[in-house]
């Protein structure tokens, strides 16, 4: 970049600087004509380019663009290269439509399946979401078009999203809600990061110095600009101080004046304003390097959308009915067969270049079979028995029934959360009625997040999860149903049995301006595993028309240092009769840790294509972070010496191989003992044990004496029963998790100094040890 940004800033007036930090329109930066500073145009994403003709309009119908599958479907592909290709295509469309920055991807965690915007987000797992985001960003930005990583941070519901405070502890924030952002920033450097509407622990995300300055810019090394979500800024000056560079939408004359006045009054250091100006100008000029205009290949991008949809479709259940073959009469039931349901409502809603209608695509592949159609359910929430009766008669006379069931927008959309996990009453009744007369029934779902199925699942032969499948999804569904494509998608989120099973259930959606993230680090499969709770379909689940065998799992070292990591290999063989793709998942389990950890966590995966009888060796590298957890007292990611299980599986619940390795931590952590530290914490800490160890025997002896146990227990082996003890228990079992200072309080008469002074002396000793 040859532009001298420092020189441009030096020539700018205070008013021009303030104006640049606020949008000129709904979709553009403020140009400064006298200095030759161009405008930069952004557009909604993330699964298509929602470019409106007039950049001053918010809700105008957008120009035609490819509607790719939404993020739920993308995550189910587990195919990072395919996501990168989609990013490249989106970049090409941005160039053709004169867009400099695409507002996506979204990497917020799916804390609850009720989240109305979940279809725009990848997963309940931060590692999977992060890997997909990196490749999405790298794909788009390889074309010289920017991205906007969103919505930072802890934006996990639509209820009161403009104001609610996500109350989340530091460890949970770092282990669950930040890692996907961190990975994307460090490995892909998105041009922009978009802050969320909500508060995080009482502070608006747009004014959150810790999130924007300390973590994003300083700790992670983010080089781009931070933009507000549209309308997320409450106090422009406070937001600038906290690291919010660019407020949208514009124009906002009063905000510009507020910034100017704050600088002149001394409330705002002009150096802070200059830093935001520098970041904005850097991206504006970076965008200008890519010439805009021309066209994009509509057909090629439509075909790519088809391929992505086919890779993301998940075969949830199959009693052997699929793939279809030889049926003479196929009953196609459900209005989404004739009116494709392929995207969600809200800011991501795309004006597609064309749409593949599922029924027509079935007809083109059905060869000599007769296809008949019944609507099955209405577009609204009314109950129509006549539609059910018509569908039942059609299904009764057919060889197989295909039920296309789409979760309607009035139940799932940006702007509001779902109230339940059910299909509509009409849809449930329809499935049960049809399957009762036609055992060969296939349910094809179009939805952005999990639905419950217990009422009808046992009565149908097969279930396909088609997601919000994009404009070419109708082709992909037909290809999978007729076996032209072997399904290979696997779930990027758990399907629970019922809503009350979900981790955040008792805290959702909050109230009185706050929502408690009381489940902590235990979201998604982490929670279900810890509770040993059955689910409808586990994280990572997905069936195929073939079968796969895992064997010969190996680790590159049985003992290794955390900084070196370890590589895991496993042989995967296609043991069936059809070519297919398998997604190998690698989870890590810490056998013993200082703080509680989930039973297992995804730390690697690979998608492999295999011909019948073919074997390939899969290799997955694990690094320091694969074994670490965030310690809130040390305020960093730490590893601990010990044994770890490496679990290789076809899903989180289908583990095929297990290896155990031993990690040696290279960290020399500082001592964090303080006045409130317990006996157990002192004796667990190496430095603490060194200092307290000799004194501990005296503390124990004196404690037993105080509570009348000296003669009865002394240093002898612990008895089987505490009958006859003065308190009916071993007193040290009670004392071990009390602060040392509190234990000493009970024996103050035997001490030569106050308990507080004694512990203060111990702390001076322990903190002096290097």
Write the DSSP assignment of 416-479 as a string of letters: B--S-S---HHHHHHHHHHHHH-SSEEEEEE-SS----TTTGGG-SEEEE--S--TTHHHHHHH
Q: Is the pLDDT of residue 716 over 70?
A: no
pLDDT for 728: 63
Nearest to 561 by CA among 621, 641, 634, 645: 641
Predicted confidence at residue 747, as pLDDT, reads 82
Cis peptide before 251 (omega within 30 of 0): yes
pLDDT classification of 368: cutoffs 50, 70, 90: confident
pLDDT in tens, 315-361: 999 999 999 999 999 999 999 999 999 999 999 999 999 999 999 99
> For the whole model, what pTM was predicted?
0.96
pLDDT for the residue 746:
84
Tokens, residue 88: 């490249």
Q: Could you give the dihedral angle defined by the CA atoms of residues 460, 489, 351 and 197, in that order, rounded to the nearest 10 degrees? A: 100
State how far the Cα of 292 lies from the Cα of 288, in Å rounded to an integer: 9
Radius of gyration of the chain (CA): 30
Q: Could you give the CA distance from residue 707 to residue 731 in angstroms, rounded to a whole number?
A: 7
Measured CA to CA, the distance from residue 12 to residue 254 in angstroms comes to 19
Mean pLDDT to the nearest integer, 434-462 = 98
> 670-676, long-range: CB within 8 Å, 24+ apart, which pairs?
670/634, 671/766, 671/767, 671/769, 672/633, 672/634, 673/763, 673/766, 673/767, 674/763, 675/739, 675/741, 675/756, 675/759, 675/760, 675/763, 676/739, 676/741
Q: How many CA atoms lie within 13 A of 228 on its CB side?
A: 34
Residue 625 phi, psi dihedral angles, 5° rounding: -70, -20
Residues linked to residue 645 through DSSP beta bridges, in sequence order: 589, 660
Rounded mean pLDDT, 494-498 = 98
Q: For 639-653, how does the pLDDT look when each residue is reduced to its tens digit (9 = 90+)?
A: 999 999 999 999 999
| pLDDT at residue 714 in the model | 46
Look at residue 520 and tell me whether its pLDDT is greater than 70. yes
In order of 694, 698, 745, the CA distances from 717 in angstroms are: 20, 17, 27
Burial of residue 59 (number of CB atoms within 10 Å: 0-12, 13-18, 19+): exposed
Buried b (16+ CB within 10 A) or exposed e, 535-555: bbbbbbbbbbbbebebeebeb
Would you please indicate which residues are annotated as catalytic (active-site) residues?
A: 229
The DSSP code for 65 is B
Q: How far apart are the first and last CA of the chain?
A: 48
Determine the 3-state secondary structure of 308 from DSSP. Answer: helix
- In the three-class reduction of DSSP (H, G, I as helix; E, B as strand; rest coil), residue 633 is classed as coil
Pairing of strands 165-167, 566-574: unpaired
pLDDT score, position 192: 98
Helical segments of 12-124, H only:
14-20, 71-77, 80-96
pLDDT bracket for residue 245 (50, 70, 90): very high
pLDDT bucket at 500, cuts 50 / 70 / 90: very high
Neighbouring C-alpha atoms within 13 Å toward the C-beta of 474: 22
Report whether pLDDT(722) > 60: no
pLDDT digits (tens, 9 = 90+) for 509-519: 999 999 999 99
CB 582 within 8 A of CB 650: yes
pLDDT per position as a tens digit, 130-143: 999 999 999 999 99
Residue 529: asked if its preceding bond is cis (omega within 30°), the reply is no
pLDDT at 720 over 90: no
- Which of 27-41, 393-407, 410-424, 710-724 shows the lowest per-residue confidence on average (mean pLDDT)? 710-724
Residue range 251-269: mean pLDDT, rounded = 97
Alpha carbon distance 632, 389 (integer Å): 60
Judge whether residue 598 has pLDDT over 90: yes
The pLDDT value given to residue 1: 56
In whole angstroms, what is the distance from residue 643 CA to residue 558 CA? 10
pLDDT tens per residue across span 183-241: 999 999 999 999 999 999 999 999 999 999 999 999 999 999 999 999 999 999 999 99
104-139 burial: b if 16+ Cβ within 10 Å, else e: bbbbbbbbbbbbbbbbbbbbbbbbbbbbbbbbbbbb
pLDDT of amino acid 585:
99
With beta carbons less than 8 A apart as the criterion, state whether 41 and 33 touch: no
Spatial contact of 350 and 49, defined as CB atoms under 8 Å apart: yes
pLDDT digits (tens, 9 = 90+) for 466-480: 999 999 999 999 999
Give percent of the chain with pLDDT exceeding 90. Answer: 91
Looking at residues 373-385, what average pLDDT do you find?
Answer: 97
Query: Is residue 42 within 8 Å of 25, Cβ to Cβ?
Result: no
Instruction: Decide: 464 and 481 in contact? Cβ < 8 Å.
Output: yes
Three-state SS sequence of 340-387: CCCCCCCCCCCCECCCCCHHHHHHHHCCCCEEEEECCCCCCCCCCHHH
Contact 652, 613 (CB under 8 A): no
- For residues 193 and 227, is the Cβ–Cβ distance under 8 A? yes
Residue 401: which pLDDT band, with cuts at 50, 70 and 90? very high
pLDDT, the chain, mean: 95
Say how far residue 499 (Cα) sits from the centre of its chain: 19
CA-nearest of 464, 466, 627, 462 to 560 is 627
The per-residue pLDDT for range 19-65, each reduced to its tens digit, is 999 999 999 999 999 999 999 999 999 999 999 999 999 888 999 99
**Coil, helix or strand for 654?**
strand
Whole-angstrom Cα distance, residue 484 to residue 487?
9
Longest dimension (CA), the chain: 98
186 CB burial (10 A radius; 0-12, 13-18, 19+) = middle
Beta bridge partners of 44: 50, 103
Distance separating alpha carbons of residues 477 and 473, to the nearest angstrom: 6
| pLDDT tens, residue by residue, 65-115 | 999 999 999 999 999 999 999 999 999 999 999 999 999 999 999 999 999
Length of the chain: 770
């Amino acid at each position: 970049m040859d532009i001298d940004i420092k020189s441009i800033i030096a020539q700018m007036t205070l008013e021009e600087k303030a104006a640049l930090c606020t949008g000129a329109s709904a979709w553009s930066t403020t140009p400064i004509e006298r200095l030759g500073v161009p405008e930069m145009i952004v557009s909604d994403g993330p699964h298509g380019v929602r470019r409106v003709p007039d950049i001053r309009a918010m809700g105008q119908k957008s120009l035609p663009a490819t509607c790719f599958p939404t993020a739920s479907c993308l995550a189910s592909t587990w195919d990072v290269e395919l996501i990168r290709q989609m990013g490249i295509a989106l970049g090409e469309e941005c160039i053709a439509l004169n867009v400099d920055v695409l507002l996506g991807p979204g990497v917020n965690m799916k804390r609850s399946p009720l989240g109305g915007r979940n279809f725009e987000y990848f997963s309940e797992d931060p590692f999977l979401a992060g890997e997909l985001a990196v490749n999405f960003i790298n794909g788009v930005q390889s074309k010289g078009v920017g991205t906007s990583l969103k919505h930072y941070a802890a934006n996990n519901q639509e209820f009161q999203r403009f104001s609610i405070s996500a109350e989340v502890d530091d460890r949970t924030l770092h282990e669950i809600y930040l890692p996907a952002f961190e990975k994307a920033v460090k490995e892909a450097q998105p041009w922009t990061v978009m802050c969320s509407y909500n508060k995080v622990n009482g502070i608006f995300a747009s004014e959150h110095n810790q999130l924007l300055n300390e973590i994003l810019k300083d700790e992670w090394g983010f080089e781009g600009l931070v933009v507000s979500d549209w309308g997320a800024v409450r106090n422009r000056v406070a937001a600038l101080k906290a690291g919010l560079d660019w407020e949208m939408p514009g124009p906002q004359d009063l905000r510009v004046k507020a910034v100017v006045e704050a600088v002149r009054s001394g409330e705002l250091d002009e150096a802070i304003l200059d830093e935001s100006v520098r970041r904005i100008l850097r991206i504006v000029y970076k965008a200008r390097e890519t010439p805009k205009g021309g066209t994009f290949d509509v057909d090629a991008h439509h075909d790519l959308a088809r391929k992505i949809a086919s890779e993301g479709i998940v075969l949830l259940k199959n009693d052997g009915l699929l793939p279809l073959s030889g049926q003479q009469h196929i009953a196609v039931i459900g209005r989404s067969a004739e009116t494709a349901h392929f995207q969600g409502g809200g800011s991501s809603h795309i004006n597609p270049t064309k749409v593949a209608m599922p029924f027509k695509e079935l007809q083109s592949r059905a060869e000599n079979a007769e296809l008949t159609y019944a609507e099955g359910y209405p577009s609204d929430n009314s109950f129509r028995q006549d539609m059910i009766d018509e569908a039942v008669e059609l299904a009764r006379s057919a060889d197989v029934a295909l039920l296309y069931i789409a979760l309607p927008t009035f139940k799932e959309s940006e702007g509001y959360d779902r109230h339940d996990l059910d299909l509509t009453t009409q849809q449930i009744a329809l499935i049960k009625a049809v399957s009762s007369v036609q055992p060969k029934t296939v349910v094809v779902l179009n939805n952005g997040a999990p639905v419950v199925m217990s009422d009808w699942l046992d009565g149908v032969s097969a279930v396909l999860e088609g997601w919000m499948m994009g404009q070419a999804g109708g082709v992909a569904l037909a290809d999978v149903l007729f076996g032209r494509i072997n399904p290979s998608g696997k779930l990027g989120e758990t399907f629970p049995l019922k809503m009350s099973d979900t981790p955040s259930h008792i805290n959702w959606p909050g109230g009185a301006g706050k929502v408690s993230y009381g489940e902590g680090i235990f979201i998604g499969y982490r929670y279900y595993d810890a509770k040993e709770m059955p689910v409808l379909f586990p994280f990572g689940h997905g069936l195929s028309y073939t079968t796969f065998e895992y064997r010969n799992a190996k680790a590159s070292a049985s003992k290794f240092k955390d900084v070196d990591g370890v590589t895991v290999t496993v042989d995967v063989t296609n043991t069936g009769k059809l070519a297919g793709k398998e997604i190998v998942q690698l989870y890590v389990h810490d056998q013993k840790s200082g703080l509680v950890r989930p039973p297992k966590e995804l730390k690697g995966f690979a998608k492999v294509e295999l011909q019948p009888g073919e074997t390939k060796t899969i290799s997955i590298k694990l690094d320091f972070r694969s074994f670490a957890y965030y310690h809130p007292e040390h305020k960093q990611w730490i590893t601990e010496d010990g044994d770890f299980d490496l679990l290789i599986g076809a899903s989180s619940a289908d583990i095929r191989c297990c290896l155990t390795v031993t990690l040696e931590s290279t960290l020399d952590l500082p001592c964090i003992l303080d006045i409130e530290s317990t006996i157990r914490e002192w004796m667990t800490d190496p430095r603490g044990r060194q200092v307290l160890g000799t004194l501990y025997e005296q503390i124990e002896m004196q404690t037993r004496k105080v509570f009348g146990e000296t003669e009865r227990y002394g240093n002898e082996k612990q008895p089987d029963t505490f009958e006859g003890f003065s308190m009916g228990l071993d007193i040290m079992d009670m004392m071990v998790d009390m602060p040392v200072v509190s234990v000493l309080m009970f024996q103050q008469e035997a001490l030569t100094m106050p308990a507080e002074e004694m512990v203060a002396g111990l702390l001076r000793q322990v903190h002096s040890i290097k």
